[in-house]
Chains A and B, each alone.
Chain A
Amino acid sequence: MTTLTKTEDSPAPTGADPFLSVRDLYVRFSTEDGIVKAVDGLSFDLERGRTLGIVGESGSGKSVTNLAVLGLHNPKSTTISGEILLDGQELTGAREKTLERLRGNKMAMIFQDPLTALSPYYTVGRQIAEPFVKHTGASKREGRLRAVEMLGKVGIPQPQTRVDDYPHQFSGGMRQRAMIAMSLVCNPSLLIADEPTTALDVTVQAQILDLLKDLQQEFGSAIILITHDLGVVANTADDILVMYAGRAVERGSVKEVLQSPRHPYTWGLLGSMPRLSGDVEQPLKPIPGTPPSLLNPPPGCPFHPRCAYTGEVGGDRCSSERPVLPEGRGGACHLTAERKQSIFIEDIQPALG
């Protein structure tokens, strides 16, 4: 997504192909109650060595998007359309065998809860070695050595002995480290971290995030960091994609999005977060209402029922016309750019402290 910062003059990034490119992705689940539009026309790019933070509340489609990239949805109940290109290879219609060769090898995932993501039945070392043995054809012994090496790299003390431990013998932070070791064992070019630190304490969270950042410098992977915490993204990511009701509502570099956000939902997120440096006498500014049901998302801009600025657009554009998210830096909102800037400077920024 380096193109983002440069696209002011060239809106269509046609030159160098990005490493991961998602175009018009739709993911729909058919359920008893109807069709859930979990991801609704999402596009983004990611380049090697960069970190993309995907931010949104629960149910905004951030995890679903990434499971689609990995091809982990149940094909029976899921309809996926659009284009997912990983290093030029199309993944949406790919056969299971092709995906199997890529998963754990070229692309890997770190899950939120390491206790449920690790099998209690196998030793940590065996689980770390498994993708390595499978993808490189190494012997079990080589796999074990590799597991020891990886455990050492992620900072597990005495990796030679801990490699034979079971997940229940590890603490929460160590399990997450083991997960990271497992995902990095084949030097993946794409690493998807789905809320990697939500289940952890703050001091451990800081260790893990710093470790991810440092390991990325060493391995040069592209990372997608999914989180609901803007603070985590501010620390770790290069670019931000804000999602709401299955759509991307804003994107830009971390600096751009945090310093001059261009979508009322991003304003709401920033305003509802208490900060260590904020003014304690200033009440938080929550977003009114609740996130919409994806069975029947609101027409037009999905955020309009909760938005305080629909009156400024005039007419019923917000509830009838779907705002377009421009390529590169921008927000999917009908407000004019100047108006957005003045609202942010006058109304939002002072309250952020």
Chain B
Amino acid sequence: MSNDTTTATADAGTPLRDAVPGTALLEVEGLTKHFPIYGGFPVKRRVGAVQAVDGIDLAVHEGESFGLVGESGCGKSTTGRLLTRLLEPTGGRITYNGQDITHAGRKQLAPIRSEIQMIFQDPYSSLNPRQTVGSIIGGPMEINGMNPPGGREMRVRELLETVGLNPEHYNRFPHEFSGGQRQRIGVARALALEPKLIVADEPVSALDVSIQAQVVNLLQNLQRELGIAFLFIAHDLAVVRHFSQRVAVMYLGKIVEVGDRDSIYNRPRHPYTHALLSAVPEATVTAARDGEGRERIRLAGDVPSPINPPSGCRFRTRCWKAQDRCAKEEPPLIRLGGNREGHLTACHFPEEPTTAAREEDVILDPALLAAEKGTGAGSAGPVGKVDR
């Protein structure tokens, strides 16, 4: 994986944010996590494995926000947990600041844990209901023996102010706060140890739209002002686009495409990235109604089971370009001709780098195709295509 992120040309407005210093804070090579499945009677044996994460490479640079998108079950949360070493990897290598932490023990991890913090998805279950806000946010400092000048309480009050809460709420309990406020408490807790990297696992997906924007803006300000690197895990492509300078798209335990924001959202090459982008509903009338501007791709079915993933390219079972080669040969994650540096795609038959509307919609869903043909949507070309 290339360490270079040449995005300065794309987003010329803020060279400071996009021209990320080249040093990789966290590097991952061939990271794998298989959860064993046991079965059988009377003696339980290992009968298989859920291949949640299967050989991914990525690098998060200092002060950048790296987005990880994908559908549920694609392994993005597992990746987050592996990076924070809440889970033990089955294989591969995780390097933090030059130090190999793949199988590091508790003692070795302790100093690193304070530099890598996590924000969880559900603000209702990630805060201890029996602790006050003060002890929730002050807890990490106590455990790590940190004594900031002015005392811990003073620092907690500062943090509460940083995340936009009233410092007077120091002695309140989580149930006295709304969902958005609780998520702010979670953010304050992650900030307490002045981390260099925050792994945010779907930090805003449990919140209402108007509150979601508040938390996204808060995280963005923190990232800019404190220079914290983020690994931002989410399924909402628009939120990730807004927050991350580089984005990786995951499918069934593999990264299928990675690149800077502009490459992924405007010049995607992998069919899955195309399908994902075309599925996002946009709140604009012109784009939604006339079908102009954006392509329309409707995949069939759901993501296959990670217990027994398809051979070769894992997306081939839902791909409209799949050929024999896709089943036999796994496509490597490489830079395709015409792509920017750092934009890597794992596909044998990549798409054109545009998200503009196609001449024919790609519709693989049989019911949808039947319904649209029936209602006079025009004659269908080759299987799974509907004329515009």
In chain B, positions 226-255 with a C-beta closer than 8 Å to chain A are 235-239, 241-242
**Closest 4 CB pairs between A and B?**
A155-B367, A231-B281, A272-B213, A214-B371
Q: Does B276 contact A (CB under 8 A)?
A: yes
B10 to chain A, nearest CB (A): 10
Q: Does A206 contact B (CB under 8 A)?
A: yes
Q: Does A80 contact B (CB under 8 A)?
A: no
Name 28 A/B residue pairs within 8 A (Cβ), A-sorted. Answer: A155-B365, A155-B367, A157-B366, A174-B302, A206-B298, A210-B298, A211-B371, A214-B368, A214-B372, A215-B371, A218-B375, A229-B281, A232-B281, A234-B282, A234-B289, A235-B282, A258-B283, A269-B209, A270-B283, A272-B210, A272-B212, A273-B283, A274-B216, A274-B239, A275-B284, A280-B241, A284-B217, A287-B213
A103 to chain B, nearest CB (A): 25
Residues 275-294 of chain B, each 1 if its beta carbon lies under 8 Å from chain A, else 0: 11111111111011100000
- Give every chain A residue within 8 A of B71 (Cβ-Cβ): 201-204
Contact A254 B285 (CB under 8 A): yes
Look across to chain B and name the residue whose beta carbon is closest to the beta carbon of A151: B367
Q: CB within 8 Å of A: which residues of B?
A: 11, 13-14, 71-72, 178, 180-181, 208-214, 216-217, 220, 235-239, 241-242, 261, 265, 275-285, 287-289, 298-303, 365-368, 370-372, 374-375
Q: Does A307 contact B (CB under 8 A)?
A: no
In the bound complex, CA of A217 to CA of B371 (Å): 9
- Give every chain A residue within 8 A of B300 (Cβ-Cβ): 155, 207
A256 to chain B, nearest CB (A): 9
5 extra interchain contacts, Cβ-Cβ under 8 A, other than A201-B303, A273-B209, A284-B216?
Answer: A202-B276, A218-B374, A272-B210, A280-B11, A287-B210
Q: Does A209 contact B (CB under 8 A)?
A: yes
Contact B208 A155 (CB under 8 A): no
Contact A286 B278 (CB under 8 A): no
Tell whether A207 pairs with B299 under 8 Å between CB atoms, given A254-B285, A275-B283, A284-B216: yes
In the bound complex, CA of A283 to CA of B242 (Å): 9
- Give every chain B residue within 8 A of A174 (Cβ-Cβ): 302
Contact B282 A173 (CB under 8 A): no
- Give every chain A residue within 8 A of B281 (Cβ-Cβ): 205-206, 209, 229, 231-232, 234-235
Q: Does A153 contact B (CB under 8 A)?
A: yes
Q: Would you call the interface of chain A mostly helix, strand, loop, or mixed?
A: helix
- Give every chain B residue within 8 A of A207 (Cβ-Cβ): 298-300, 365, 368
Look across to chain A and name the residue whose beta carbon is closest to the beta carbon of B375: A217
In the bound complex, CA of A258 to CA of B287 (Å): 12
In the bound complex, CA of A155 to CA of B283 (Å): 27
B25 to chain A, nearest CB (A): 22
Contact A274 B11 (CB under 8 A): no
Tell whether A201 pairs with B72 under 8 Å between CB atoms, given A157-B366, A218-B375: yes
Tell whether A258 pairs with B285 under 8 Å between CB atoms, given A201-B302, A287-B210: yes
Q: Would you call the interface of chain B mostly helix, strand, loop, or mixed?
A: helix
A304 to chain B, nearest CB (A): 15
- Give every chain B residue within 8 A of A50 (Cβ-Cβ): none
- Give every chain B residue within 8 A of A205 (Cβ-Cβ): 279, 281
Contact A275 B282 (CB under 8 A): yes
- Give every chain A residue within 8 A of B298 (Cβ-Cβ): 203, 206-207, 210
- Give every chain A residue within 8 A of B238 (Cβ-Cβ): 273-276, 278
Most buried by A among B208, B214, B236, B261: B208
In the bound complex, CA of A171 to CA of B305 (Å): 10
- Give every chain A residue within 8 A of B216 (Cβ-Cβ): 274, 284
Q: Does A31 contact B (CB under 8 A)?
A: no
Q: Does A30 contact B (CB under 8 A)?
A: no
In the bound complex, CA of A218 to CA of B377 (Å): 13
Q: CB within 8 Å of B: which residues of A?
A: 57-58, 152-155, 157, 171-174, 177, 201-207, 209-211, 214-215, 217-218, 228-235, 254-255, 258-259, 268-278, 280-281, 283-288, 290-291
Tell whether A57 pairs with B375 under 8 Å between CB atoms, given A155-B367, A206-B279: no
Contact A203 B275 (CB under 8 A): yes
Checking B214, B299, B366 against A286 with a beta-carbon cut-off of 8 angstroms, the contacting residue is B214
- Give every chain B residue within 8 A of A228 (Cβ-Cβ): 208-209
Contact B282 A231 (CB under 8 A): yes
Contact B261 A280 (CB under 8 A): yes
- Give every chain A residue within 8 A of B13 (Cβ-Cβ): 281
In the bound complex, CA of A271 to CA of B181 (Å): 20
B195 to chain A, nearest CB (A): 23
Checking B242, B287, B302 against A280 with a beta-carbon cut-off of 8 angstroms, the contacting residue is B242
Contact B210 A202 (CB under 8 A): no
A49 to chain B, nearest CB (A): 13
- Give every chain B residue within 8 A of A58 (Cβ-Cβ): 208
